[in-house]
Amino acid sequence: MSENKKDPSIWDGFKAFLMRGNVVDLAVAVVIGAAFTNIVNSVVKGVINPLVGAFGTKDLDKYSSCLKHPCNFDEATGTATSGIPIMWGTVLSATLTFLITAAVVYFLMVLPMSKYLARQAARQKAKENTQEVIEVTELAVLKEIRDALVAQRGSGQGER
């Protein structure tokens, strides 16, 4: 029975796994990413698609080419009933969504964080350099005091 208490249980290992910082950070990132995806999808459907729609159809999913004619679609489901369509509008929409997501993440999260971390590193380095200068200065002063004391002892011993 004492051996069971020494060996960590599966539950203890699982709790330790969940409490690691990386797992919690990853979980937060997934939740924020899911919420952020809805925002980006809304921007693409509400802003980008209408702008593209000024030159054609508002729904990018409607852009397609027909590999084997005739391509007919069921209006209710949107699936092809005949022909072989290549739905390049869907790929274009997904690409725009990805590019917008990547740009927002970079310009609003990665770039400011990297600038902040660079400033923090510069401050830390400046602080370390200041400490080194202070330490060197203190060391120089202590050496001067030592030398002065040695000189006083040397001159004081000759007078006796």
Q: What is the predicted pLDDT for the residue at 156?
A: 62
Cα–Cα distance for residue pair 45/43, rounded to 1 Å: 6
Q: Is 8 helix (H, G, I), strand (E, B) or coil?
A: coil
Q: Do residues 89 and 62 touch, judged by C-beta distance below 8 A? A: yes
Q: Do residues 61 and 89 touch, judged by C-beta distance below 8 A? A: yes
Record the tokens describing residue 89, joined without a space: 């509008």
pLDDT tens per residue, the chain (160 residues)?
Answer: 445 556 678 888 888 877 776 777 788 888 888 888 888 778 877 887 778 777 776 677 777 778 777 878 777 776 777 777 788 888 888 888 788 878 877 888 788 888 999 999 998 888 887 776 676 777 888 888 999 999 888 776 555 4
**DSSP designation for 64:** -
Nearest to 81 by CA among 91, 92, 71: 71
Record the tokens describing residue 154, joined without a space: 């040397």
Q: What is the predicted pLDDT for the residue at 78?
A: 66
Q: Do residues 55 and 38 touch, judged by C-beta distance below 8 A? A: no
Q: Do residues 64 and 93 touch, judged by C-beta distance below 8 A? A: no
Check: pTM over 0.85? Answer yes or no: no
**Residues facing 68 on adjacent strands:** 84
Cα–Cα distance for residue pair 105/93, rounded to 1 Å: 18
Beta strands in 26-129 (DSSP E): 65-73, 80-86
Which residues, other chains included, contact 81 with Cβ-Cβ below 8 Å and sequence gap of 6+?
A: 72, 73, 74
Cα–Cα distance for residue pair 57/66, rounded to 1 Å: 17
Residue 11 C-alpha from the chain's centroid: 31
